[in-house]
Structure 1
């Protein structure tokens, strides 16, 4: 999530020849405006915990996030013993130490194709979260963090359920697109 970063789009409707009027100029922020990295999880029953990541994430940091957030989320969401952790193929997720940690902590993971955001239901939640946080117009990193936490907690269980329920349709769309981009 970026505060004033490159991923934030700005559109202005203006008359020609008014480009340099003050009301039509978007101020820039030197050295970026700051960003927040978060980790989150969810199930069909609703959003789980959201963790703010300070600094660089490596395998050790990732394992700490899992330790502090997965089981509490499983309990909060009242999941049965059959839950499975779905993660992408980021190197810190698939490192030898993380694989050993997951095995030691009896966390079953779902095999996952790389570069498959259309199949990953949490990508849709990240999109939703960015949209509502951006609409609140955070003015600093602390607000960006707080708004992210606030809005994550407001995600309706019905939204999560629909994302899980639509997985079959997403899979069919990706296969039809021969692995390319789909409408999801």
Structure 2
């Protein structure tokens, strides 16, 4: 201190000392890295048992200084070991496929679109005391507001036909949808000879009546791993459609 400042007395500190010691911070960080769903309340109790009483905000500040932030966990399909292995095998087999291969694929999927309301978290900018004006609220109706089921397809050339599904979906109804829309969509998109049809492993898609129809029409199927909606680019298209309907 003498060499640096020319004095030996303690200099004023820039602020109050942190209530959680460096060792305590390392302990709680180690715990949340092992168990990410640990709550701040649980950490409060652990620190209190060690003689350190702090608020939840203090714990958050300690985490934020070390790059840890509370986030809503992403939702992913529940995968068993066989699903993981099948997805890995699919990725390995198709890793080096050229762009021309993917341009030959006609992707398909079904979607349920809510016609009223929104099921995702939304925010509005408002002042205190203005919670109830119509522009700051989200209307709701009893028993939901109705929905529409639809089947659609698309390729690198664009979107194919969109078919509205009425009633309960069965293997026979799915085959009828394909009969009305699949080949006509391929023609509309000017798909080249040898195009490949993609569908997931829904029981209606793998029903005997459906597979027999595809075989009769000599339509080649893309082998698709189970529990893999996140691999289907149709999901991105459906997301855009849902956002526009909600608006």
State the TM bucket, normalised to the shorter chain.
Answer: 0.5 to 0.7
Distance in 1 between residues matched to 2:238 and 2:221, nearest whole Å: 21
Change (3 A) 1:17 1:119: same
Question: Is 1:48 equivalent to 2:160 in the alignment?
Answer: yes
Q: CA deviation at 1:9?
A: 4.3
* Deviation sequence 1:86-134 (CA, Å, 0-9, x none): 0011110011221122112212111111221221111111111112232
Give the SS at the match of 2:205: helix
- The corresponding residue for 1:24 is 136
State how many pairs are aligned. 135
**Is 1:88 aligned to residue 222 of structure 2?**
no
Instruction: Say which SS state the counterpart of residue 230 (structure 2) adopts.
Output: coil
Greater strand content: 2
Write out aligned runs for 1:112-151 (5 A).
112-135=224-247
Give the direction of change, closer, same or farther, for the CA distance of 1:74–1:21 in structure 2 (3 Å limit): closer
5+ unaligned residues in a row in structure 2: which ranges?
Answer: 1-112
Q: TM-score, normalised by structure 1?
A: 0.66
The residue number in structure 1 matching 2:127 is 15
Report what 1:164 is aligned to: none
Asked if 1 retains the 8 angstrom alpha-carbon contact of 2:151 and 2:164, the reply is yes
1:108 to 1:132, Cα distance in 2 relative to 1, 3 A: same
Unaligned runs of 5+ in 1: 136-184
1-structure distance, mates of 2:172, 2:138: 40
With a CA cutoff of 8 Å and minimum separation of 6, indicate the structure with the bigger relative contact order. 1
Q: Measured at CA, do residues 60 and 119 of structure 1 come closer, stay the same or move farther in structure 2, by a change above 3 Å?
A: same
**TM-score (normalised: structure 2):** 0.50
1:59 to 2:171 alignment? yes
- Residues 10-65 of structure 1 deviation map (CA, whole Å, 9 limit, x = unaligned): 42233345435555332211121111111111111111111011111111111000
User: 2-side partners of 1:76 and 1:22: how far apart?
Assistant: 44
